[in-house]
Amino acid sequence: MSAATSPSLRARPAGRAQPGLEHLVRPGQPLPRPGDPLRIAYLCYRGNPHVGGQGVYTRHLTREMAELGHEVEVFSGPPFSVVDEPVRHTGVRSMDLYPRNNPFRTPWPFEFRGGVDLAEWLYMCSAGFPEPWAFSVRVRAMLQQRVGDFHLIHDNQCLGSGLLGMLDDGWPLVHTLHHPITVDRDLDLAHPHHQRPWKQYTLKRWYGFLHMQMKVARALPRHLTVSQNSKRDIIAQMGVPPEKLHVVHVGVDQRQFRPLPHVQRVPGRLMTTASSDVPLKGLTYLIDALAKVRVERPDAHLVVIGRPRHRSAIPKQIERLGLEGAIEFVSGVSDERIVELYNEAEVAVIPSLYEGFSLPAIEAMCSGTPLVATSGGALPEVAGTSGDTAMLCRPADPDSLAAAILRMLGDAELRAKIGEAGRHRVLDRFTWKRCAEGTIEHYYLELEAHAKRRHDAGMV
């Protein structure tokens, strides 16, 4: 079955109010006005703050919204979000089918509690990815018991069909769409290691959830996205109307990511973040580039924040290139240690083939570490002018990447100039407080638009 055709994954048409929930928007209840405190139900179907940008986005955005005086409760599935007080967290149970130490696991019989659990497991068994759908269905049921607790819902790139049910239930809803996952799918399918017929088939099955997500995305009333580049690609690849998309840049924690004068740069050290070992992130091209760099700079070595995924081709590539002692994978370290690692590196590298924004880029820049990045996706929009605030190179091109790294490693004055200019660029443009203020502004706009739609439909 697929997300497009399975009855269990198909949402009901939007617009039909559900019995018993007509009081969600209560007659006579005053509409919150700009400046009034809001109560926000924030949804994150996979919330780990240390693996992937969505968990980082969730933690910092919700904290800043709370500091602005709003009440935020995060609903997340495993791996669960980490939130900062006074933000509240409510876990949403799942079958947890993809734990790092046992992906695609078979649950014990006692774990099944109903039809959603069974459908989630069966869909995984058919090579699909059911988490967004299952999370959206479960959290919708939870929110049906919380009517009156929240002014609106903010979903973070779940796009499960349960969101259409939430619209049916009368909830005002804002959604963050970081970038079109169609890009991930196309790059995965085009990867040289993925050309066998069976691999192509299983990848297409895995990305079957995109049919559901594109349908849901086109139906939702208001999306936030993180860059102009992402906005263009979402319009082109997902068919979301331009008037529904609004750019609110993400930020960086300037209190955390900062230069550490007491930490010495390690000669020849490169650093990159590969929280998800997938073709999109371009780690294989960086490893190829490192082998080229070491011909001229034998001291060049790489620290990777993250670790290879199950059955990754990365370890064999490292062995083939004779780089066993030149690459170190680091995971499970504290936030402060990550900042120290940025400060120990002479150069930070973002080798991605595509980025909707790139939190690691602005974290490195805010730490004062000079950045080499590709021109994939929104990276030029984020990193700025090549040779000024970063050094840009072509994506999927180890020769171009190696040349940029060698130029940076060989010129201490250039590194100092780019490191300082990059930090100033981030401090001027990308802060979590500014991100929170922009997000809240769209909450008020959507609440007003939602009330008008209901009034025009004769529902209030």
CATH number, domain containing residue 412? 3.40.50.2000
Mean pLDDT of the region 272-289? 87
Q: Look at 79 and 323; give whichever has higher pLDDT.
A: 323
pLDDT higher than 70, residue 39: yes
Residue 382 lies in a domain: yes
| Percent residues over pLDDT 70 in the chain | 92
With cut-offs at 50, 70 and 90, classify the pLDDT of residue 387: very high
Q: Residue 280's pLDDT is what?
A: 86
Do 235 and 305 lie in a common domain?
no
How many structural domains compose the chain? 2
pLDDT higher than 70, residue 432: yes
Residue 99 lies in a domain: yes
Mean pLDDT of the region 62-91? 95
Do 151 and 218 lie in a common domain?
yes
How far is Cα 23 from Cα 77, in angstroms, rounded to an integer?
A: 28
Q: Phi and psi dihedrals of 97, rounded to 5? A: -85, -5
Residue 344 lies in a domain: yes
Task: List pLDDT tens digits, range 318-349.
Answer: 999 999 999 999 988 888 999 999 999 999 99
Do 384 and 448 lie in a common domain?
no
Q: Look at 347 and 99; give whichever has higher pLDDT.
A: 347
Can you tell me which residue has the tokens 């997300």?
A: 3
pLDDT higher than 50, residue 208: yes
Residue 184 lies in a domain: yes
Q: In what order do the strands lie in the sheet with 88-91?
A: 88-91, 71-76, 39-44, 152-156, 173-176, 223-225, 245-247
Do 329 and 232 lie in a common domain?
no
Q: Residue 16's pLDDT is what?
A: 39
Do 109 and 141 lie in a common domain?
yes
Q: Which two tokens stand for residue 324?
A: 């066993």
Number of neighbours of residue 313 by Cβ within 10 angstroms: 16
Q: Residue 51's pLDDT is what?
A: 53
Residue 11 lies in a domain: no
Average pLDDT, rounded, for the chain = 90
Do 243 and 328 lie in a common domain?
no
Do 420 and 437 lie in a common domain?
no
Q: Which two tokens stand for residue 448?
A: 């007003």
Do 421 and 450 lie in a common domain?
no
Contact (Cβ atoms closer than 8 angstroms) between residue 161 and residue 133: yes
Q: HSE (CB half, 13 Å, CA atoms) of 449?
A: 15
pLDDT higher than 70, residue 305: yes
Do 105 and 214 lie in a common domain?
yes
User: SS3 for 74?
Assistant: strand
Q: Look at 183 and 287; give whichever has higher pLDDT.
A: 287
Q: Residue 275's pLDDT is what?
A: 66
With cut-offs at 50, 70 and 90, classify the pLDDT of residue 100: confident
Ranges 16-25, 381-390, 406-415: which has the least confidence: 16-25
Do 173 and 49 lie in a common domain?
yes
How far is Cα 304 from Cα 274, in angstroms, rounded to an integer?
A: 6
Q: Give pTM, 2 decimals.
A: 0.87
What is the domain range of residue 349?
269-426
Contact (Cβ atoms closer than 8 angstroms) between residue 371 and residue 391: yes
| Residue environment code for 77-96, b if the CB has 16+ CB neighbours within 10 A, otherwise e | bbbbbbbeeebebeebebbe
Do 440 and 376 lie in a common domain?
no
Mean pLDDT of the region 69-90? 95
Q: Look at 30 and 80; give whichever has higher pLDDT.
A: 80
Radius of gyration of the chain (CA): 23
Q: Residue 3's pLDDT is what?
A: 37
Q: Residue 182's pLDDT is what?
A: 92
Residue 188 lies in a domain: yes
Q: Residue 49's pLDDT is what?
A: 60
List C-alpha distances in Å: 97 to 104, 115, 121, 306.
5, 16, 8, 21
| Percent residues over pLDDT 90 in the chain | 78
Do 88 and 151 lie in a common domain?
yes
Most confident of 25-29, 183-187, 418-422: 418-422
With cut-offs at 50, 70 and 90, classify the pLDDT of residue 50: low
